[in-house]
Structure 1
Amino acid sequence: MSGVWNYFKIESEDSVKARCNVCKAEVPRGGKNRAMFNTTNLIRHLRSKHLQQHEEYTAATRVTSLKQPTLSETFKRKEKLPQNSDKAQQITAKIAEFIALDDQPLSVVENVGFRRLMEHLEPRYELPSRHYFTEKALPALHNKLRGHLQALLTDVPAFGFTTDIWSSSVCPMSLLSFTAQWIDSQFNLQHATLQAQNFRGSHTADRVREAIEGMLNSWGIDKPRVHVILRDNARNMVKAMDDMEVKSVGCVAHTLQLAVHEGLLSQRSVIDALATARKIVGHFKHSPLAYSRLEDIQKDLKMDVKRLQQDVQVRWNSSLYMLQSILEQKRALSVYAADYSLPATLTANQWTLMEKTAEVLAPFEELTRDVSNPTASAADVIPAITDYYYNNNNNNNNNNNFLYF
Structure 2
Amino acid sequence: MDASNQTQTVVKSSRLKSLVWNDFERVKKGDVMVAICKHCKKKLSASATSGTSHLKNHLNRCRKRQTRELAEQLILVREKQRGGTINLENLKFDDFGPIDFKFDERTLLNLKFDQERSRYDLARMIILHEYPLSMVEHVGFRRFVSNLQPSFQLMSCDDVKSDCLQIYGKEKQKVYEMLDKVPGRLSLTADMWTSYQDHGYLCLTAHYFDETWVLQKKILNFVMVDPHSEQSLAEVINTCLMDWDIDRKLFSVTFDKFFSNDVVFRTRERLSQSRLLPNNGLLFHVRCATTILSLIVQDMLEALNEVTHKIRESVRFVRSSDTVQQSFNEIAQRLIGDSQRGLCLDCPTQWNATYAMLEAALGYKDVFSHLQQCDLGYTLAPSDIEWERASTVCSYLKLFVEVANAFTGVKDPTANIYFPELCDINLQLIERCKSEDSFIKSMALKMKSRFDTYWSICSLVLAIAAILDPRFKMKLVEYYYPQIYGPSDALERITEVSNGIKDLYHEYAISSTMSSFDHGLACDVRSSNGINGVLPITNNDTRDRLSGFDKFLHENSDNQQVKSELDKYLEEPVFPRNVDFDILNWWKVNAPKYPILSLMARDVLGIPMSTVEFDSVFNIGERLLDPYRSSLEPDILQALVCTHDWLQKEVEECGPIPSSSAMPLCITSS
TM-score strictly above 0.5: yes
Q: Match for residue 95 of structure 2?
A: none
Q: Match for residue 98 of structure 1?
A: 125
Distance 2:76 2:68 in 1: 14
Distance 2:343 2:68 in 1: 58
* Aligned-partner residue type, residue 272 of structure 1: E
| Residue 320 (1) aligns with residue 355 (2) | yes
Q: Match for residue 75 of structure 1?
A: 75
Q: 1:151-166 alignment to 2 at 5 Å?
A: 151-156=177-182, 157-166=184-193
SS of equivalent to 1:310? coil
Name the CA shift for 1:184/1:353 in 2 (closer, same or farther; >3 Å): same
Distance 2:131 2:286 in 1: 35
Residue 113 of structure 1: how far off its partner (Å): 4.6
SS of equivalent to 2:114? helix
Name the CA shift for 1:71/1:121 in 2 (closer, same or farther; >3 Å): closer
Distance 1:212 1:98 in 2: 30
Distance 2:114 2:323 in 1: 54
Out of 161, 172, 184, the residue aligned to residue 210 of structure 2 is 184
Name the CA shift for 1:111/1:189 in 2 (closer, same or farther; >3 Å): same
Distance 2:379 2:69 in 1: 74
Residue 251 of structure 1: how far off its partner (Å): 1.4
Contact 1:230 1:250 in 2 (8 A): yes
SS of equivalent to 2:321? helix
Out of 306, 314, 324, the residue aligned to residue 272 of structure 1 is 306
Q: CA offsets, 1:149-192, max 9 Å, x none?
A: 01101122411111122323x33211111111112122221110
Give aligned pairs, total.
Answer: 316
Contact 2:344 2:356 in 1 (8 A): no
Residue 326 of structure 1: how far off its partner (Å): 5.5
Name the CA shift for 1:74/1:155 in 2 (closer, same or farther; >3 Å): closer
| Residue 214 (1) aligns with residue 239 (2) | yes
Contact 1:308 1:325 in 2 (8 A): no
Normalising by the residue count of structure 1, what TM-score does the alignment of the two structures yield? 0.62
Residue 294 of structure 1: how far off its partner (Å): 5.9
SS of equivalent to 1:202? coil
Q: CA offsets, 1:119-156, max 9 Å, x none?
A: 5654543442222222x121122112211101101122
Q: Match for residue 170 of structure 2?
A: 144
Name the CA shift for 1:72/1:306 in 2 (closer, same or farther; >3 Å): farther
Distance 1:255 1:177 in 2: 19
Name the CA shift for 1:368/1:100 in 2 (closer, same or farther; >3 Å): farther
* Aligned-partner residue type, residue 367 of structure 1: V
Distance 1:94 1:332 in 2: 62
SS of equivalent to 2:286? strand
Contact 1:165 1:175 in 2 (8 A): yes
| Residue 293 (1) aligns with residue 316 (2) | no
Residue 227 of structure 1: how far off its partner (Å): 0.8
SS of equivalent to 1:187? coil
Contact 2:343 2:361 in 1 (8 A): no
* Aligned-partner residue type, residue 211 of structure 1: V
Name the CA shift for 1:306/1:280 in 2 (closer, same or farther; >3 Å): closer
Q: Which has the higher contact order (CA 8 A, sep 6+)?
A: 2
5+ unaligned residues in a row in structure 1: which ranges? 1-66, 285-289
Contact 1:195 1:215 in 2 (8 A): yes
Out of 222, 225, 233, the residue aligned to residue 199 of structure 1 is 225
Contact 2:136 2:156 in 1 (8 A): yes
User: Percent identity of the aligned residues?
Assistant: 21
* Aligned-partner residue type, residue 109 of structure 1: V
Q: Match for residue 393 of structure 2?
A: 357
* Aligned-partner residue type, residue 375 of structure 1: D
Q: CA offsets, 1:199-240, max 9 Å, x none?
A: 126232x22221111001111223x31111111353334433
SS of equivalent to 1:128? coil
Distance 1:369 1:124 in 2: 53
Q: Match for residue 308 of structure 1?
A: 345
Distance 2:351 2:211 in 1: 40
Out of 198, 219, 232, the residue aligned to residue 172 of structure 1 is 198
Distance 1:356 1:68 in 2: 81
Residue 116 of structure 1: how far off its partner (Å): 5.1
- Alignment RMSD: 4.5
Name the CA shift for 1:122/1:255 in 2 (closer, same or farther; >3 Å): same
Contact 1:167 1:173 in 2 (8 A): yes
Q: CA offsets, 1:63-115, max 9 Å, x none?
A: xxxx99996365156479xxxx9633333333323332333322333445544
Name the CA shift for 1:108/1:389 in 2 (closer, same or farther; >3 Å): same
Distance 1:71 1:242 in 2: 65
* Aligned-partner residue type, residue 256 of structure 2: D
Distance 2:131 2:367 in 1: 41
Normalising by the residue count of structure 2, what TM-score does the alignment of the two structures yield? 0.40
* Aligned-partner residue type, residue 248 of structure 1: H
SS of equivalent to 2:239? helix
| Residue 249 (1) aligns with residue 274 (2) | no
Contact 1:181 1:189 in 2 (8 A): yes
Residue 381 of structure 1: how far off its partner (Å): 1.9
